[in-house]
Amino acid sequence: MPSLCYWSIIHRPGLRDSEHRNSDKRGQRRFIPSLQTHLLHYWVDKRGAFTLEQAVKKLTHGNAEAFELKGRGLIKKGYKADLLLFEEGRVRPCLPTVESDLPGGARRLVQKAEGIRATIVNGVVTLENGESTGHFAGEVIKGKLAS
């Protein structure tokens, strides 16, 4: 019998961290950080529940449609050039760490990943081999519901 987690991934157009939760043995709900890398590593590479193409479409086009983000989610003329370059079969989440790099020394949870070579936002390389390039090309994006 498929797990609830698998059913949820299959039946949702997009896949967002805030929606993906599961329960531990005590019935406590716990959050799976870095859901995107978890999907590629566990559900594609280990379980074979999805092809790489299905997973990438769900993480890109599926999320853009779910959030009603026009001009995103596809590699197409006139669309924003948001890309993630990764090594097939090598993507996996690293253990989370707590960083105290926010204003006033506030802490935040950071979870990096192996196998990701570059993050390109609006056509600009912003992360390369897990390190910031110092270029910030992002912008706040909102779907219809946020307006």
* Separation CA 124–CA 29 (nearest Å): 37
Strand pairing class (131-132; 97-99): unpaired
List the structure tokens of 30.
């716990």
With tokens 């219809």, the residue in question is 144
The fraction of the chain above a pLDDT of 70, given in percent, is 75
Q: What is the pLDDT of residue 29?
A: 41
Q: What is the pLDDT of residue 25?
A: 45
pLDDT in tens, 15-37: 554 444 444 444 444 444 588 89
pLDDT in tens, 33-61: 588 899 999 999 999 999 999 999 999 99
Per mean pLDDT, which of 17-21, 22-26, 94-98, 143-147 is the most reliable? 94-98
Count CA atoms within 13 Å of residue 99 on its CB side: 10
With tokens 């566990």, the residue in question is 42
pLDDT in tens, 52-88: 999 999 999 998 888 888 899 999 999 988 899 999 9
Q: How far is CA 67 from CA 16, 36, 39, in A?
A: 10, 16, 19
Greatest alpha-carbon span in the chain: 49
Q: What is the pLDDT of residue 7?
A: 47
- Name beta bridge partners: 29: 23
